[in-house]
Amino acid sequence: MNSRVSQKDVARAAKVHPTTVSLALRNSSRLPVATREHIQALARKLGYQPDPALDALNAYRLASRKPIQQGTLAWIDGREPQHRTDGKGPSAYDQQFRAMAAAAASRGYKLDSFPLGEGGYTWTRLSSVLRERGIRGVLVGPLPGGRARLRLRWEWFSCVAIGLSLARPELHRVTHDLFYNMRLLLRGVRHAGCRRPGLIMLHHENLRTDTLRHAAFVSAHPGAPVLWCDQLESAAIVDWYREQRPDAILVQNAPYVVRRLREAGVSVPGEVLVASCCAHEHPGLAGVTESPAMLATAAINELVGMIHASETGLPDTPLRVQVPGKWTDGEGEFALRADALGLRAAKSGA
């Protein structure tokens, strides 16, 4: 029986020190790109396979000590210039970037943002800049509008997309479990006594969620009222409500809908309950919370695992890691008792 090819065997064939092989197989930026690629190609040719027992030991050692700086990961920001921020603001995008940066730091990586388009890099230039800086891990952040197509020298990098707004190419993705979360939201309003829910959905929101929220809604309530719009408008919301008379409205931007209905003289939540698809962005309202921290941890773990396994380029079978949300009680007049609903409130930590 042939013995396992070790890193020492690869080192002898490459005529380098075993430490150099270890660094190359971990895509360490301490080595030049050409050196890493040469050693990785040689390791594949020799049939080198990581030792699972050794990997487990290394994972234990890493978990028991303070992370050592291993390099930089790239966060691709494809938004328009007026919407770009430094990650320090209160927006959901800023919160997500901060969560990603914290998760990266816990694994020993720094996260840098790279803007695209006007005022930023072209795709050709960005690929070269990342390669010159020794960056091998790329996170494609949420993109504006519906679903976008992006170009990069993907074969140079390990890549993970955040969310579903990237249409092409197909990368490994980490996203909120949108279908499950909508079913959880429907369960919440049903236990609150609502039997005729309505959904307000923006066209671009439907595209960037890959139609999953809408699919979950109509599969549970065929024929239930849905208001489709390009942007939320007070008159359209009020007219639709008065015509359809849903007893619960499910919507992403719940605070806006509450304000506009109240301005029109509709009692909320007296006449109609408004529940949020993103209650973590709207404190006080009942609905489903999505955890940016859990999403960040899953995305960084996926990307770092790809880097350590030297997995680059476009995957033959793109994976989708989905992070489920939790029901959260509202507060004050919007409170829905979790025990009465048979649901676990996110704020209780259950």
Element housing 327 (H / E): strand 326-328
pTM attached to this predicted model: 0.75
Q: How confident is the model at residue 225 (pLDDT cuts 50, 70, 90)?
A: very high
**pLDDT > 70 in the chain, percent:** 85
CA dist 216 → 14, 149, 206, 324 (Å): 54, 26, 12, 14
Residue 68: its pLDDT value, please?
59
- H helix or E strand, kind and range, residue 77: strand 71-77
Q: What pLDDT does 62 receive?
A: 55
Instruction: Note the pLDDT of residue 69.
Output: 64
* Range 189-193 average pLDDT: 89
Range(s) of the chain covered by CATH 3.40.50.2300: 71-169+292-324, 178-290+327-348
Question: Is 320 a residue whose pLDDT tops 80?
Answer: yes
Among candidate residues 35, 39, 100, 46, the one with its CA nearest the CA of residue 73: 100
Residue 336's pLDDT is 65
Mean pLDDT rounded to a whole number for the chain: 84
Domain(s) labelled CATH 1.10.260 in the chain stretch across 7-63
Per-residue pLDDT tens over the stretch 36-55: 889 889 998 888 887 766 66
Residues 126-153 have a mean pLDDT of 87
pLDDT at 265: 95
Q: What is the pLDDT of residue 341?
A: 44
Share of the chain above pLDDT 90, in %: 47
Residue 105, pLDDT above cutoff 50 = yes
Topology annotation, domain 71-169+292-324: Rossmann fold (3.40.50)
Long-range pairs for 127-135 at CB < 8 Å and ≥24 separation? 127/152, 127/153, 127/156, 130/74, 130/156, 130/157, 131/33, 131/156, 133/29, 133/72, 134/29, 134/33, 134/71, 134/72, 135/29, 135/71, 135/72, 135/73, 135/74
Name which of 166, 200, 169 is nearest 185 in CA terms.
200
Architecture of domain 7-63: Orthogonal Bundle (1.10)
- In tens, the pLDDT along 74-101 reads 999 877 665 666 666 667 777 888 889 9
Average pLDDT over residues 163-172: 90
Question: Is the pLDDT confidence value at 176 over 60?
Answer: yes
Range of weakest confidence among 178-182, 267-271, 333-337: 333-337
Q: What pLDDT is attached to residue 347? A: 36
Taking alpha carbons only, the member of 206, 184, 176 closest to residue 320 is 176
State the pLDDT confidence band at 65, using cuts at 50, 70 and 90: low
Within 13 Å of residue 15, how many CA atoms lie on the same side as its CB?
0
Residues 303-313, buried b or exposed e (16+ Cβ, 10 A)? bbebbbebebe
Q: Give the pLDDT mean for 277-286.
A: 86
Q: Which residues pair with 327 in a beta bridge?
A: 288
> What does the pLDDT read at residue 66?
58
**What pLDDT, on the 0 to 100 scale, is given for residue 8?**
87
So what's the pLDDT on residue 31? Answer: 75
Would the pLDDT of 299 be above 90?
A: yes
Pick the CATH number of 178-290+327-348 from 3.90.1150.10, 3.40.50.2300, 1.20.120.450, 3.40.50.720: 3.40.50.2300
Confidence check: pLDDT of 242 > 70? yes
320: enclosing H helix or E strand: strand 320-323
